[in-house]
Structure 1
Amino acid sequence: MKSIKENFAKLFDDPNRVTLKDSLMNLTTEYDDFEFKEIEIETHILAKHIIGMANTNGGIIILGVKDTENGLKPCGLESTRDITDMKKQLAKYLPHELTYDIHQIDYDERGEWGDLKNKSFKIIKIVFTSEYIPFLPIKGSENYEKTDIFCRKNSSTTRCEYDDLQDIFNKRKRINRYRISALTLRNELEELKILSSYNTVFNQALSFTNPSFLDTVKDLERRKIKYIEQGLKIEDID
């Protein structure tokens, strides 16, 4: 039998009828990176779960599956909303930096689908983008405020406590230690261009008038190149 992590990885990479069926066969309950809902829940509640997963390690929300005392029951969705409309409504609550996607999965009447035959589901895939965590809702609701921060803990979405926030900030710090944004990269390259000009156009003149200054510029240029390589994570690539 395939491991839960293996099935999760395949479903996350390629949400389709086969990977969903394999995952539901091997899952028995909810996990921090899996959430199941029997129906298409209200937008503000769905947004809370999406934010919670985005702040933790990413994950998948499956609509059309009921979590019962006897395990998961794939009941399917009686009616399904248009994905474009769902995203439009979610955009009222989710920051635009948060990366997610919604997939509609429909099964036909073939017997090979077993209990999934003639049923429809939605898979919401939430990507973990560490450079932007923690995410907060951009709009409040009757259940939470704009200042609330959510995470996944004990297979549920909950408001972050002190230790949870520390974990989020540590993840951001650890993963983004050398990461460099496009805007920063542009600025760094402009500065490198200036440093390089001193080692080309003015190289000969400076070598006579102020050799110590030229040595300093050369060292700055070397360190600047190293910083950019670290930011792009290419320092070990030949």
Structure 2
Amino acid sequence: MNPQIKDHFYDQFLKEPTKDNFRDFMKKSCGELNEMDFKETWIDKGPLAKIMLAMANNGGGIIIFGVKENEDNTFDVLGLDNLKDTADISNSISRLVSSSLDYEVFNFVFDSDVYGEFENKKFQIMVIHDTPERLPFVSLGQSEKIEKDVIYVRRGTKSEKATSEEINRIIERKIATIYSENTDVSLDQHLEQLKKTVFRIASKNTSVSSKRLSTKLCSSAKSIWRTYRGTVWNSR
């Protein structure tokens, strides 16, 4: 995640997620970034899951609902008609996003005139946390604007299919995190789990995209594992 976004949001806002801090954070925002997306209202499950997966693979991010960004990077704080229940959010994306993807939803209701343009408006923020040890996050199903068994990343403030180079970086970050924080046994276990994921995708799906993803993951993991352990990952 962008260090400035991390400092403003994680180190300040999330320590005390109050209405005042949310308003201050919005005043400091400088437009959409790879780590930040604005939506006028809640979007359909497919596009939402796609953004969540892309942000999770890119070090985390923030989706703010109830705010419109204009072409000149200014904002219209429109607010939401209604707050969406977190259980409904979870149910809507459960067939598309792994339960290991860590996120939170914060609600903000401004009911006082001291908040100026925020007065009598409602907002929700979805925070996708950075969990590199759980990478990569792969789409579990297919829906509107999202395909099954695809690794998405944020690129140019959009959510796109990862290239081979981007997949390499994702796997390398996962292994580097595990290698630096855990024992060799733990590293082996994580790599074995990654290997199982690859073969699950390959065995249960015959589509070209699924086979291509499996090949990319295998290639990335083999190369990076050699770097960290000097061990060849033998294919089955």
Q: TM-score, normalised by structure 2?
A: 0.71
1:86 equivalent in structure 2: 89
1:234 equivalent in structure 2: none
> 2:179 is paired with a residue of what secondary structure?
coil
Matches within 5 A, 1:211-226: none
Deviation string 1:38-82 (CA, Å, 9 cap, x unpaired) is 111111211111111110111111111111113122111122222
Q: Gapped runs of 5+ residues in structure 2?
A: 190-236
1:7 equivalent in structure 2: 8
| CA deviation after TM superposition for structure 1 residue 184, in Å | 5.0
2:107 equivalent in structure 1: 104
2:179 equivalent in structure 1: 177
Bigger radius of gyration among the two:
1
Q: What's the Cα RMSD here?
A: 2.2
Work out the number of aligned pairs and report it. 182
Deviation string 1:68-109 (CA, Å, 9 cap, x unpaired) is 113122111122222221122222221011111111111112
Deviation string 1:93-145 (CA, Å, 9 cap, x unpaired) is 2101111111111111232x121111111110111111111101211113222
Structure 2 CA distance for aligned equivalents of residues 163 and 75 of structure 1: 39
Structure 1 CA distance for aligned equivalents of residues 75 and 151 of structure 2: 28
Amino acid at match of 2:122: S
Matches within 5 A, 1:64-75: 64-70=66-72, 71-75=74-78
Amino acid at match of 2:82: S
Could you tell me whether the CA contact under 8 Å between 2:65 and 2:80 is conserved in 1?
yes
2:127 equivalent in structure 1: 125
Structure 1 CA distance for aligned equivalents of residues 165 and 186 of structure 2: 31
Structure 2 CA distance for aligned equivalents of residues 147 and 75 of structure 1: 35
Amino acid at match of 2:78: C
Could you tell me whether the CA contact under 8 Å between 1:37 and 1:64 is conserved in 2?
yes
| CA deviation after TM superposition for structure 1 residue 29, in Å | 0.7
The alpha-carbon distance between structure 1 residues 16 and 44, as it changes in their structure 2 partners (threshold 3 A), is: farther
1:209 equivalent in structure 2: none
